Structure 1
Amino acid sequence: MLLKRLEMNGFKSFADKVAIDFVPGMTAVVGPNGSGKSNITEAIRWVLGEQSAKSLRGGRMGDVIFAGSDTRKPINFAEVSLVLDNDDHFLPLDYSEVYVTRRIYRNGDSEFLINKQSCRLKDIVDLFMDSGLGRESMSIISQGKIDEILNSKPEERRSIFEEAAGVLKYKNRKKQAENKLFETEENLNRVQDILYELDGQLEPLEMQASIAKDYLYQVEELEKVEVTLLSAEIETITETLETWRTAFQENETALLSLRKEISELETSAFSKKEELRKTEESLEGNRSDLLSKTERLEQLEGERNLFLERQKHSNENELAHAENLALVQSKIKTLEDSKQALLENLRVKETTFRVTSEEASELTNKMAQFGAVSEEAIENRKSDLFELKYEQTTIRNDLGYIDREFSQMESRLEKLEQENKKHVTSRADLSAAENETKAALDELKEALNEQLEIYSEVKATLAKQNARFEANERDLYRHYEKVQQMKSRKETLEELADDYAGFFQGVREVLKAKSELPGIIGALIELVLIPEKYQKALEIALSASAQNIVTENDEAARAGIAFLKKAHAGRATFLPLSTIQPRHLPDATRKMIQNQPAFVALASDVVRFDQKLEPVILNALGTTILAKDLKGAGQLAKLVNYRYRVVTLDGDVVNAGGSMTGGATKQGKSSILTRKSELETLTKTMAELSAETVEKEALVKSSKESLRKKQEELEETRLVGENLRLREQELLGKLTREQESLERLNQQLSVYDLETEESAEEKARLTAKKAELEQKNVAIEAQITEMDAEIADMIERSKVAESKLKSDEETLSNLKAKIAVQKSELEQAKTEVSRVQENLDENYLQQEELENKIADLKNNLSSVSMSETEAARQIERTRGEKEAVALQIETLNRSKAELQAEIADLEARTAERNNQASFYLEQKNKAEIQIGKAEVDVRNRTERLMEAYMLTPESAKEKRSAEFDMEALRSKVRLLKRSIDELGVVNIGAIDEFERIHERHTFLTGQQEDLLSAKETLFQVMDEMDEEVKKRFGESFEAIKREFAITFPELFGGGRAELVLLNPEDLLTTGIDIVAQPPGKKLQNLSLRSGGERALTAIALLFAIIRVRPVPFCILDEVEAALDEANVVRFSRYLKHFEENTQFIVITHRKGTMEEADVLYGVTMQESGVSKLVSVRLEETAELIK
């Protein structure tokens, strides 16, 4: 497999898209410091799946995107693609070419592609895992990798060998198995905790289920008897109800008949009253109409008089307007005659003005023609003169240019001579500087050796402090584990509490729905606080009543029962605060037992609770006595005549009536009460542990800070050494540059001699050119003098024509003055015509207005005459209508008196019928009351049947006995209810709850067994992974050890080296030490060698690993930086041994490495902050890296 091409776009300093094509063999990438060479290595590492921004010299992953420069804006994404030739199917993909792409956007989004198909980062990491090409593999070796080999602990150094052995996937699998094992143990602990809780619930539930079954039998018997009794009572009451309903119907019928008659009478009366109202309205309307007719008659007479007055006024106005019209028409005739005379005068003046203007125009044209002929000839000759002068100016400019060239040439020759002298001086200075640099290099090597000794001492102290830090850290992690276990147990208990585990089904469902059921306070056991000393006794004393639900009132209790019925969710007992009655020991009894040695306290006195719950607590515990032991309990019970229950602190009971209950429960069982107590204990303990955690964290932080300071000291020491090394490299570079500068100076001096010779030749050419131009200039000057004389003669001859032109100009001036006078008179005549026309227009308008007014007056006179005639007709008609209305008013008054008499008779008859209806209504209401009472009795019994037994009266009648005695039935009902009450609080839900808990217990037991089996399997998998890792690691280590023994003497030209396992018995964790003996030196640990020896030893180890596990390609990033020139040459030639199987991409500064490369690429930063890729010739390389 080969690395074919790397494509980058927007990655770090590569702002523009760049593609690097790689070939088999060695490709070298060179360039000055800071140009971005190492960004190529990081691009390859990144696309192979690197996830650490720090490893890429960044603070966060977004730092790999080009951030902009002084001249460029930031880019919004970075993209790197790697193209691999996979013809040999080295990678497990069915493609001959693999194209891997990674892309990141500035908003943090990322994309990953294999052959342009979207994938996950994990897919890319898995593709290269254990292939030798992963981001941490030996395919990418940087100076940091060399430092890692040199400076890491033996235990840390083994990671390089693990990668070479290909065991990372097995270690990852083991890590996955460990994670699964942790999850399995967590689940197992959770299951065991739940089983522990269930064990404590099974036994009491079994006993409660037995009591509940007895209770259900008696309830069933009560149902049979009570159903018969209720059905018989409903039947008896129903018969009485029918009698009252008959009486009610009879009175209802009589009452309806009377109400119908009353209604008819009231309807007749209403009709007559309505008729009377209409008569009165008509009467009022006629009276109003009579008044209106009178007022209208007066109005019409006034209007007729007004019309007669208007007719007289219009006749007078028409006569006056006719007189004015005659005067206007006479004035118009006079103005029209004057207008004709003015227009004739205007035509004469226009003709005279036109003739004079034509004479002036003709004279002007003659003058212009004579002057143009003379001036045109002069202008043409002047144009010829201008062209000659232009040519003369061009020649003079060329002569000036030649003079300037002579001057510049003299200056350049003078400057060349000065620079020649300067470079001669510089050559002497550089020779002196070369000698000084060599001396500084010798001093620097001595300082570097001293710094290495200081570094070793600081490193030894750091190792001791690191051991202390790791011990403190392990202690903290053990503490964290303890806290986590308690937290897990607490979460389990809280989860059980939140799920109301241990509560009966009905109780649990109500408590879960508490937010939907107003008035639900909670279960009794939740609402009390019991000291640990009394928990066992109180748990027995409360028994099943601990799960009774306390409510604000009986309405909330009924709502809770209805909820359980609707959801079919079981049963529960409710304790309404509004109805529950407290129970007390008599004062005399209390005083009698308080002084007894066995007496501890009353159960209600040892619990803490909200004061409003006192009736509930006293009802449950007010008559329960606590005793020290069973013997003392018996004495106290006897003292109170076995009327009250006595409970010992161990949980034994002497019941009311003398029976005794006791024994032992299964070891380890828990209850709701113990769970609650354990939760409180855990909360308190975790608070204490939290304070301890702070102390331990502070200790770890302190030791970590000391370690950090020592690490900083070591880093400072290392940096001093590194700076000394860098200074050494700088001096070496300086020496090289000085030598190269000397060579360039000698070349420059040769160039100066050549430039001097060329300048002399150019000077001779310019001299000849100047002589030719000066001859042309003399000839043109003579032509200009001759043409100036010719133009002067032409100007003299044109002056003779000027005299005739002046005479014509005087004649033209007189004509223009005459035209101005005529034009003024013409304008005055036009103004007079306009004035006369305006007067005419005004009189025409006045004539039209008078004619329109006369026409309007005639039309108005006709209209007024017609209106007066119409008014006379309306006056006659209105008088007739007024007399008719007066007659109608008289008729309506007579009708009104008749209607008032009929209404009085109807009202008297209605009052009589209302008295009769009142009697029947009273009888009806009496029957209705009795019906209501009977219906309530029937409804109550029907509701009892439905609520208690879900039966209708019909279905109850079918179920009842054929023969029965009502009193016997009532007696039996009382006996059964008393017997059920004597059973006390019964938990019906215990039957289903016991079955549910038992079923869950069985299921969880099976889960526990499965988890234990899975745990064993995971241990087996982890052991198998360890064995595989040990086998592969051991084999790989021995192979690398053998190859290292070969590569070391090959690189050093002799000597020997060895890899040593610190703990051969533990191949999973053993560290690896490196012992080396270069030629002529003693065998020592690698850390005691010089920097160059250590670096070359590390390179020899890397070559050994590559020989054991060849990789298709390998990126070497300045790994030879610490080597001297001889070792660099040896290193670069040694790379040739691997070219057959491995393709090398080398980032380098060293000339020896560059000389061995097959292909060179250069990286420059011609534009600030932006890296560019350039092709490089071998001879240009040294210049490029400066």
Structure 2
Amino acid sequence: MFLKSLELYGFKSFADKTRLEFADGTTSLLGPNGCGKSNIVDAIKWVLGEQSTKTLRAGKMEDVIFNGTESRKPLNVAEVTLLVDNASGILPTEHSEVEIKRRLYRSGESEFFINRSQVRLKDIRELFFDTGVGKSAYSILEQGKIDQILSHKPEDRRYIFEEAAGITRYKLRSIEAARKLERTEENIEQVETLLGEIKRQYDSRKAQASKAARYRELEQQQASIEVDVQLSTVKSFLLLRDSRNDQLQKARLAYDELKEQISIDTEQVESEQSELRRHAETRVAIQTRIQRLEEQLIAKRDQLELLQQRYQDFLRSKDEADARAGQILERIDRDEFELESQRDYKQQITQTIEDLGEKITQHVLQMGETQELIKEHDVEIGGRESEILVEDSKQQELGAKLQEITDLIVVELDRKLSESGYSIQARRSSEQAFLERLERMRNSLAERVEFGKTIGPLLKNKTTDPTDIVKEWNRFLQEISRSIEALAELFSSYRNTIPSFIDELLAPEGIITQKHGIDGELAASRSRSIAHREAIKTLREENHGLAELLEQYRERLTQLKVSLGEHQARVASSKSLIESLEKNITEQRYLHSDAERDAQVAAQRVEEAIEQMSLVREDQVRIEEEKDSLDGQLVEIVEVIERENERLSGERQKINQRYTELNELRGSIDKYTFHIESLEEQIQGVYRNFFDTYGKSLKEFDARLEEDLGDLGQLREQLASLKKQIQGMGYINHMAEEEFAEIKERYDFLNQQMTDLMKAKNDLTRVIEEIKKRSEELFLDSYHKIRINFQEMFHRMFGGGRAELRLMDPENVLESGIDILAQPPGKKLDRLAPLSGGEKSLTAVALLFATYKVKPSPFCILDEIDAALDDRNIGYFLSVLEDFASSSQFIIITHNKHTVMGSRTLLGVTMQERGVSKAISYRMGWEADEEVIYDAQVDTPSNNTV
């Protein structure tokens, strides 16, 4: 079994779907710090069921979802898929490949899949039990795990030995069995408590059920006698009802006769009262009219007061409108003056803006000219720099030629000197002889000059013989001639020592002449380069001055634009103020028109109020006259109505007396009707009470009404005796029989449950003991093997030394901590605290590989455990790793080049986009006896360096 691939989407920094293909052997996972290498380890732990956010380096579980970058939006889901090869059948499933998937939504919803079928987290964990693989097994070893293995608490390192011993599954079963045993004991206690309570209810309900049966027998006897009593009662009620019906019919006949006589008398009185009602209606109409006239008089007085008030209000409104019109007119004059001032101010600012615009245009043109001049200078500078490059190239060529000619001159000089036999010693000797001879001549001539000075006086002396002088002169000339010949010979000898080839070299077509020509050209080229550089320097200085001038133009242009903006703002403000004033003047004119119109309307309404008051006074006079006339008519009609009322009063008394008799008859009818209805109600009450009491209808026994039911008194005595017996029984639980049946069923069920629970308790106790015994055997067997292997691996990893494992509590193997004693070469045997970081890491790796020799994990992920190892220890580590790579798959996160070179496959993680991780795969191989790196996707050599 080994990892085939890992696919990530939206997990931490892996925003895009990323697939990592793993190979067998050793794989190195590389990348700079912070690129997301450890996120791959977190993804494997997460998909294997890790629930601790601290272990996943997150604040909450939703933090594992890609949270976005400056250029990317956050994702709403994180998904990791792990594909495992199960051809060897290590995992308890029939599939040759097992795909584990975990998915988390930002809402907090989580899903788990095995081969694309949704499962529980528990199913994934149980799938990898006792395989060395899991979120907490020794298949994933990090720096933190090293600290846990080498922790001061020996209990913290038990999980490695338990996983290697294969007792994780047994341990879980033991824990589950213990929990079940605890729950079983709790259930036994609960059942015992319930059984005691149910037993008390069982005895109570049994007694109540017997009492309820006796009660039911007495109740049946009572019901039989109760039927006879109730039928007798109904029979007496029926006889009394028939008697009351006969009396009711007689009263109704007398009532109808008296009612007809009253109707005749009433019609006669009504006909006489119709005329009286007509007079009454006339009286009411007159009274109503008088009342209305009085109301009209009151209304007219109120209306007159209101008109007078309105008259005063209209006068006041007219005065106020006139005053308001005058104030508005003053404001209009003031605003018009302000408007003219603002228009003049706006015109001045507008002219200033036009001037500023012209200045800005002029500055823009000057800036353009300056920029063009700078560009022309830049072009000229570029041209001259090109010329300088040409001259530099030419100088390089001339220098090369000069070097060649110089080398040639040296060669020719050596050759010519060798051919001519030139000797500097001979030249110096000839030169010395020539100079010495020349000095003697100079001395001889000096003597002769002195002799010449003496000849003059001798020639003047008459005593001096001229022949002696001539002889002396001839001797001098002969000496001179001999000296010149000797000097000529010496010069010839000296000239022969000078090489003749120098003239050839100095000839116009000679090499030295060519050299002088190249020197001249080189000097001229350098002069031109210097001239160009001087010109460039001048142009750049001019450009610097122009740039400063351009900056001044820009500053001035900025100032002008700022000033322009300020003036434009002032124009806008002035324009806004002008518009506001114009609008205000327009509104004030409207208000002035409204005020004048209000004054006119008020004056018109004053006149209308005067006319209306005059009309109201006329109406008051007319209404008072009509009211006086109606008062007289009312007195006459009241006298007529009083006379008619006295005559009809006697007739009404007769009719009222007959109504009294009619009411008495009506009372008798109502009384008989009530009696009959009461009897009917009592009969129905008997039927209803019987049904309510016994749950069946008394009408079933109506056929017995024609029979002799016996004496009602005796029946009542028998019924009273039965009721007394029933009452003497006290409280009766009518549901006691049903409740007793239920309690009995529950009592029997709990007894059976107690039996089953006791059996389950015994079975669980036996299972726990068997699991404990089996776990101890497996653990001790693995522990002793790992102990021996650890000593061997420690000696190999450290190149010497020794190490031991010790159980802290041998009597309690399944709970005992495991102590580690280590003695690197040159140190004494001691616990791990004094060891260095590298020694601790190497000790943890030794323990890991010792465990692998007992039960290798199909794959192992090592997260920078080689960080603290030096080159020597890395060598030990890699040699051991190579031995185990044939049976296990290793994935190492590392920065160590030696570890990388010992791997067959390279996985690179990088961040080409900030905050988003990307993976690259390479495979190490050999080609032409040289190690090369292949692209894992296309299997061809790659130029990438890792």
Q: TM-score, normalised by structure 2?
A: 0.54
Distance 1:237 1:407, change over 3 A: farther
Distance 1:1177 1:1010, change over 3 A: closer
Q: Secondary structure at the match of 1:82?
A: strand
User: Could you tell me how far 1:10 is from its partner in structure 2?
Assistant: 3.9
For 1:977-992, what aligned pairs fall within 5 Å after superposition?
A: 977-992=723-738
User: Could you tell me how far 1:166 is from its partner in structure 2?
Assistant: 2.2
Q: Does 1:928 align with 2:673?
A: yes
Distance 1:37 1:405, change over 3 A: farther
> Partners of 1:263 and 1:120 in 2: how far apart?
99
User: Could you tell me how far 1:25 is from its partner in structure 2?
Assistant: 1.9
Q: Secondary structure at the match of 1:1000?
A: helix
Q: Which of 1027, 1031, 1052 is matched with 2:773 structurally? A: 1027
In the alignment, structure 2 segments of 5+ residues that lack a partner are: 282-375, 395-520, 533-647, 925-930, 934-943
Question: Match of 2:149, as an amino acid?
Answer: I
Deviations 1:840-899, CA, capped at 9 Å, x for gaps:
xxxxxxxxxxxxxxxxxxxxxxxxxxxxxxxxxxxxxxxxxxxxxxxxxxxxxxxxxxxx
Q: Does 1:1130 align with 2:876?
A: yes
For 1:588-987, what aligned pairs fall within 5 Å after superposition?
A: 921=666, 923-932=668-677, 934-935=679-680, 937-956=682-701, 964-987=710-733
User: Could you tell me how far 1:1144 is from its partner in structure 2?
Assistant: 1.3
Deviations 1:805-840, CA, capped at 9 Å, x for gaps:
xxxxxxxxxxxxxxxxxxxxxxxxxxxxxxxxxxxx
Q: Secondary structure at the match of 1:235?
A: helix
Q: Does 1:199 align with 2:207?
A: no
User: Could you tell me how far 1:64 is from its partner in structure 2?
Assistant: 2.5
User: Could you tell me how far 1:126 is from its partner in structure 2?
Assistant: 3.0
Instruction: Identify the residue that residue 1051 of structure 1 maps to in structure 2.
Output: 797
Deviations 1:460-493, CA, capped at 9 Å, x for gaps:
xxxxxxxxxxxxxxxxxxxxxxxxxxxxxxxxxx
Instruction: Identify the residue that residue 1002 of structure 1 maps to in structure 2.
Output: 748
> Partners of 1:980 and 1:255 in 2: how far apart?
54
> Partners of 1:120 and 1:29 in 2: how far apart?
31
For 1:204-353, what aligned pairs fall within 5 Å after superposition?
A: 204-252=204-252, 255=255
- Out of 990-999 and 42-51, give the one that drifted further: 990-999
Instruction: Identify the residue that residue 807 of structure 2 maps to in structure 1.
Output: 1061
Instruction: Identify the residue that residue 563 of structure 1 maps to in structure 2.
Output: none
**8 Å CA contact retained: 2:131, 2:858:** no
Deviations 1:566-586, CA, capped at 9 Å, x for gaps:
xxxxxxxxxxxxxxxxxxxxx
> Partners of 2:809 and 2:381 in 1: how far apart?
96
Distance 1:1057 1:262, change over 3 A: same
Instruction: Identify the residue that residue 138 of structure 2 maps to in structure 1.
Output: 138
Question: Match of 2:3, as an amino acid?
Answer: L
Q: Which of 859, 880, 886 is matched with 1:1140 structurally? A: 886
Distance 1:22 1:64, change over 3 A: same
Question: Match of 1:109, as an amino acid?
Answer: E
**8 Å CA contact retained: 1:1149, 1:1185:** no
Instruction: Identify the residue that residue 59 of structure 1 maps to in structure 2.
Output: 59
Deviations 1:439-480, CA, capped at 9 Å, x for gaps:
xxxxxxxxxxxxxxxxxxxxxxxxxxxxxxxxxxxxxxxxxx
**8 Å CA contact retained: 2:796, 2:876:** no
Question: Match of 1:162, as an amino acid?
Answer: E
**8 Å CA contact retained: 2:805, 2:820:** yes
**8 Å CA contact retained: 2:227, 2:698:** no
For 1:1053-1132, what aligned pairs fall within 5 Å after superposition?
A: 1053-1079=799-825, 1082-1087=828-833, 1089-1132=835-878
> Partners of 2:391 and 2:44 in 1: how far apart?
60
Deviations 1:320-340, CA, capped at 9 Å, x for gaps:
xxxxxxxxxxxxxxxxxxxxx
> Partners of 1:67 and 1:404 in 2: how far apart?
58
Question: Match of 2:765, as an amino acid?
Answer: F
> Partners of 2:19 and 2:828 in 1: how far apart?
49
Q: Secondary structure at the match of 2:141?
A: strand
User: Could you tell me how far 1:1095 is from its partner in structure 2?
Assistant: 2.9
Q: Secondary structure at the match of 1:1111?
A: coil
**8 Å CA contact retained: 1:12, 1:39:** yes
User: Could you tell me how far 1:151 is from its partner in structure 2?
Assistant: 1.4
Distance 1:259 1:7, change over 3 A: same
**8 Å CA contact retained: 2:391, 2:525:** no
Instruction: Identify the residue that residue 127 of structure 1 maps to in structure 2.
Output: 127
Question: Match of 2:130, as an amino acid?
Answer: D
Q: Secondary structure at the match of 1:27?
A: strand
> Partners of 1:241 and 1:408 in 2: how far apart?
152
**8 Å CA contact retained: 2:143, 2:864:** yes
> Partners of 1:1167 and 1:105 in 2: how far apart?
24
User: Could you tell me how far 1:993 is from its partner in structure 2?
Assistant: 4.0
- Out of 204-213 and 1004-1013, give the one that drifted further: 204-213
- Out of 176-185 and 1080-1089, give the one that drifted further: 1080-1089
Distance 1:918 1:214, change over 3 A: same
- Out of 260-269 and 937-946, give the one that drifted further: 260-269
User: Could you tell me how far 1:1048 is from its partner in structure 2?
Assistant: 2.8
Distance 1:1137 1:1005, change over 3 A: same
Q: Secondary structure at the match of 1:55?
A: coil
> Partners of 2:115 and 2:391 in 1: how far apart?
69
Instruction: Identify the residue that residue 112 of structure 1 maps to in structure 2.
Output: 112
User: Could you tell me how far 1:213 is from its partner in structure 2?
Assistant: 4.2
> Partners of 2:667 and 2:269 in 1: how far apart?
27
Instruction: Identify the residue that residue 650 of structure 1 maps to in structure 2.
Output: none
**8 Å CA contact retained: 2:48, 2:125:** yes
Question: Match of 2:383, as an amino acid?
Answer: L
Question: Match of 1:183, as an amino acid?
Answer: R
Structure with bigger gyration radius:
2
Question: Match of 1:1140, as an amino acid?
Answer: S
Distance 1:246 1:166, change over 3 A: same
> Partners of 2:784 and 2:756 in 1: how far apart?
42
**8 Å CA contact retained: 1:33, 1:1185:** no
> Partners of 1:29 and 1:68 in 2: how far apart?
25
Q: Secondary structure at the match of 1:51?
A: coil
User: Could you tell me how far 1:1019 is from its partner in structure 2?
Assistant: 2.4
Distance 1:966 1:1039, change over 3 A: same
Q: Does 1:402 align with 2:147?
A: no
Distance 1:267 1:87, change over 3 A: farther
CA RMSD of aligned residues (A): 5.1
Question: Match of 2:50, as an amino acid?
Answer: E
User: Could you tell me how far 1:985 is from its partner in structure 2?
Assistant: 4.4
> Partners of 2:378 and 2:831 in 1: how far apart?
89
> Partners of 1:221 and 1:909 in 2: how far apart?
66
> Partners of 2:274 and 2:762 in 1: how far apart?
107
**8 Å CA contact retained: 2:29, 2:891:** yes
**8 Å CA contact retained: 2:860, 2:889:** yes
Deviations 1:681-716, CA, capped at 9 Å, x for gaps:
xxxxxxxxxxxxxxxxxxxxxxxxxxxxxxxxxxxx
Question: Match of 1:45, as an amino acid?
Answer: K
> Partners of 1:1166 and 1:767 in 2: how far apart?
52
> Partners of 1:1023 and 1:84 in 2: how far apart?
36
User: Could you tell me how far 1:169 is from its partner in structure 2?
Assistant: 1.9
Q: Does 1:148 align with 2:137?
A: no
